[in-house]
Amino acid sequence: MIEKVQTGRSPNAAVPVVTPEQRVTAVIDRYSQWNPTLKILVLDLDGKVLFKSGNATESQVDLHGIIRNAMDVRINDRRYQNQEYSSFYPIDLNEKKAYLVVSGMPNPDIVYMKGGTSPMPTLLAVVAFIFLFFWMTKRKMKMIEGLASGLREIAKGNLHYRVHASSRDELGSLADSINLMTAELQQTLEEERRAEATKNELITNVSHDLRTPLTLIMGYLRLLKDKNFESEQQAESYLNIAYSKSEKLKSLIDDLFEYTKLSNKGDTLKLGTVCINELLEQLLEEMVSYAEENDLSVVRAFPPEKLRVNVDADKMIRVFDNLLTNAVKYSRKPGTIRVLLFREAEYVKVRISNNGTPLTQEEVDRLFDRFYRVDPSRSSETGGSGLGLAIAKSIIDYHGGDIWAECEGDEIRFWVRLKLAV
């Protein structure tokens, strides 16, 4: 509820008029009441006081001096000194230029701050940082020492040693790289050792296989040269034996030469489309009499479909002739040689099997090694060079096919797989 206050003025009385000067004076008085220490002046351009607060006594001031003092205070920023500060502002008053000058002395306030903050949190943070730093550094240094120790062990020639990778960071990646490098180096050295051993074995085997027939040839030729024979028939027999041994010597040299060319990819294949059915039929017809002489029979199972392959016919004949000849030589007599031909997807497969002496898996795995003989004495009797199956494998590999052997009980099976011609 608003209470009405009765005044002595009649309703028809005139409202008093407030001049601009009175309004300015009222504003100055109001601000002076808020802060009695402030001295407020309104000056014209000549420094004459037009309006002032109640605590001001000046009627004329040095306007330029006030402006200069105010600027010095702002520039020098003299804090904490017991002096009066002035601020001035240009204003428009009744369409005339004037200045509002406010002066006063700042009252200092004492602010009490709580001191004596404990340094324990900072100290704990520093200690924790140092502990973590040394822990991480010690762990990394231990890993680096492990890498260095592993490298020293590998440098000694222990290629079986592997560095332990205990992290997944850069040091762990470095350890993996060292292990990979060591494994590759170990594999390379093992391959070089195997190649060196194979070369030495090749030299030994070639020397032995060449020396045996050469010794016999020289022996019989010496008998003929010294005329150490009783009759012309005996001399002719010596000559025939020497000639036979020389043929075997030539055959061995030819096999060795062909194997070397195939192993070094130095031979060129004369590829052509060949019907594998007809090729095997021709070989088996030529092999029948040889098999019958050894009390063996040949059983074949061919599909009616003509299976064609893109091969070098002469070299492929060499492969199957070697497999069939081995089957005759090493079969149990009497016995049977079985030849199976069939198609499997986009490949043609040939299986030649016979019954003979059971072989261990190690012996089966080495059948295609050069100069390898399962039974050296038996191979010597049959006159094998030990290169036949190695040459067969090189030829099949050269054609991009596969050849392998299996033994189940006393049955030995040789497989050949070739890709069908398009």
pLDDT, position 128: 87
Decide if 37 contacts 106 (C-beta within 8 A).
no
Burial state string for 308-339 with b = 16 or more CB within 10 A and e = fewer than 16: bbbbbeebbbbbbebbbbbbbbbbeeebebbb
**DSSP 8-state symbol, 421:** P
Domain ranges of the chain: 20-104, 124-267, 269-419
Q: What is the pLDDT of residues 382-417, one digit of tens each?
A: 455 677 888 899 899 989 999 999 999 999 999 999
Q: Is the bond preceding residue 334 a cis peptide, omega within 30 degrees? A: yes
- Beta bridge pairs of residue 418: 348
Spatial separation of the C-alpha atoms in residues 137 and 368, rounded to whole Å: 58
Q: What is the pLDDT of residues 136-154, one digit of tens each?
A: 787 778 888 888 888 888 8
Spatial separation of the C-alpha atoms in residues 323 and 317, rounded to whole Å: 10
The mean per-residue pLDDT over the stretch 344-349 comes to 94
- Beta bridge pairs of residue 354: 412
Decide if 214 contacts 252 (C-beta within 8 A).
no
Q: What CATH number was assigned to the domain covering residues 124-267?
A: 1.10.287.130
CATH 3.30.450 assigned to 20-104:
yes
- Helices 170-225 and 120-155 meet at what angle, rounded to 10? 0
Which CATH architecture is the domain 269-419 placed in?
2-Layer Sandwich (3.30)
pLDDT at 56 over 70: yes
Of all residues in the chain, the percent with pLDDT exceeding 90 is 23
Spatial separation of the C-alpha atoms in residues 37 and 51, rounded to whole Å: 17
pLDDT, position 274: 94
pTM, 2 dp = 0.50
Residue 109 pLDDT grade (very low, low, confident, very high; cuts 50, 70, 90) = low
pLDDT, position 276: 94
Count of all residues that appear for the chain in the document = 422
Q: What is the pLDDT of residues 152-170, one digit of tens each?
A: 888 888 888 888 777 777 8
The pLDDT mean for the chain works out to 81
pLDDT at 75 over 60: no
pLDDT at 337 over 50: yes
pLDDT, position 412: 94
Q: What is the pLDDT of residues 229-270, one digit of tens each?
A: 888 888 888 898 888 888 878 877 887 777 777 766 666 788
